Amino acid sequence: MAGSSHGHTPAAWTGVIIAFIGFCAAGLFMVADSPVGFWAGCAVIALGAVVGGAMKVAGMGTPKEPAAVVEARARAAAREGAAA
């Protein structure tokens, strides 16, 4: 995992931060006995997922590997399996 940059992108960080704010707000309003505030916090959590996904589609997420890299990795794995 250390070499994969899993989740270390602007899209991931933004989505998680927005969802965390919504989670904190929903928790606060649940304790404060405010159903409207609670559901607003839940909406912010969903908004975090939407914003993160939109940023990923816009190119701010983890880039996909080219097909040539995927094929080369598959051939290397097949060679290692045949050699063992």
Cα gap 58→52, rounded to integer Å? 10
Per-residue pLDDT of the chain (84 residues; tens, 9 = 90+): 455 666 688 999 999 999 999 999 999 999 999 999 999 999 999 999 999 999 988 988 877 777 777 788 888 888 877 766
Kindly state the helix (H) or strand (E) to which residue 58 belongs, with its residue range. none
Give me the pLDDT at residue 67, please.
Answer: 75
Least Cα distance to 23 among 2, 3, 48 occurs for 48
The number of helix segments (H) and strand segments (E) in the chain equals 3, 0
* Residue pair 50/21 in contact by the 8 Å Cβ criterion: no
Cα gap 74→37, rounded to integer Å? 50
Give me the pLDDT at residue 51, please.
Answer: 96
